[in-house]
Structure 1
């Protein structure tokens, strides 16, 4: 079982998913908070029951699944509602992230947490040994976001502003990948980090 856990984060459209795939190609277990956010609200889960109790049955589809569109409309632009949702979902997601990392059979495991900075960083995730930030210059990030989502500049600016600042993310970083080039650059960075993390995990297990 793995005991060396790395948190990976970055802004929207920074290239986190591509880097995640690169680590997975090295047979490294990656626990993805975005995937788990869907898992923890499947029908029958305590988190879904808590969401329905707080927001009402209008956030359910006829088959009992969470109506994500309806829920987004409830919390969008309403900080109080958004925080209420986070209080329900984030602890369940954090629990699953740690469980998956602890069960990992790879030499180290990665917890992919897009909102790591916004969620409290190391204070909230004391079990992370290192934090890897995928960093992208703001202009490049905006262009990628506009192309990826087919949105205009105003909406891209609004989506980027809703996240933690680039400076705040970088302040948490032990390792940084500057993703301002092609996929080859990102794969080379993943290879170098993989070698570093293998060495660090081996050293940690020997102590």
Structure 2
């Protein structure tokens, strides 16, 4: 039996930020610079895809009514099952968190670019930064988060505020992050600063390779 993966040999940049901060726009820029991006949100969906071990376990626990007619997970129904039931929530977290972490570490290890980016909205909250060599916070004022998210997701301002309140406070993220990229400005300016950071990360990754035993 093979040992579980607990770390990655690649140099990893953890990219995070609150809802509506523009993580996707920045990660897309990094992909255009030939950097592999591993997205925790995408992986969270993959581990509950049809016929996956994750979804099969959820079906066994909650029953067939947890599925949509096309056989995919009914996320709204699942949310209702765990929203007011801590036992269900703890069971689901115990199932999914190990699956998500294993897939994240596998994908980080399989990356062949000079360094690899782990995009995770809850990077600090879920302690995923322990797998990263450096962290980059995509930062915007809370008012910008509210405006962008309400417009993008067609949700109420009150709902957006409750989502932000459930995440780590902005000032705490700023204190934890190694680098901060202001995304409350023209994207061309963001791109220019990101390219400078990218060159730094290439150097860090090269040094890491050079110093490896």
Same fold, TM exceeding 0.5?
yes
Report what 1:104 is aligned to.
Answer: 111
Structure 2 segments unaligned to the other structure (5+ residues): 1-7
Q: Secondary structure at the match of 2:131?
A: coil
> d(CA) in 1 for partners of 2:18 and 2:85?
21
Whether the 8 Å contact between 2:18 and 2:121 is mirrored in structure 1 is yes
The residue number in structure 2 matching 1:164 is 168
Distance 2:56 2:208 in 1: 40
**What per-residue deviation string (whole Å, max 9, x for no partner) do you get for residues 59-97 of structure 1?**
122443212221122223555433432222122111111
Q: 1:140 to 1:50 in 2, by over 3 A?
A: same
- Structure 2 Cα separation of the partners of residues 65 and 13 of structure 1: 26
Q: Output the CA distance in 2 between the equivalents of 1:159 and 1:4.
A: 31
The answer on whether the counterparts of 1:132 and 1:174 sit within 8 Å (CA) in structure 2 is yes
Q: Does 1:201 align with 2:205?
A: yes
Q: C-alpha displacement at 1:57, in angstroms?
A: 2.3
2:22 matches 1:15:
yes
The TM-score, its normalising length taken from structure 1, stands at 0.90
Aligned CA-pair RMSD: 1.9
1:167–1:116 Cα change, 3 Å: same
Instruction: Give the alignment partner of residue 133 of structure 1, picking from 115, 134, 137.
Output: 137
> Using a 3 Å threshold, how does the CA distance of structure 1 residues 78 and 44 change in structure 2: closer, same or farther?
same
TM-score (norm 2): 0.87
Please report how far the alpha carbon of residue 137 of structure 1 lies from its aligned counterpart in structure 2 after TM superposition: 1.0
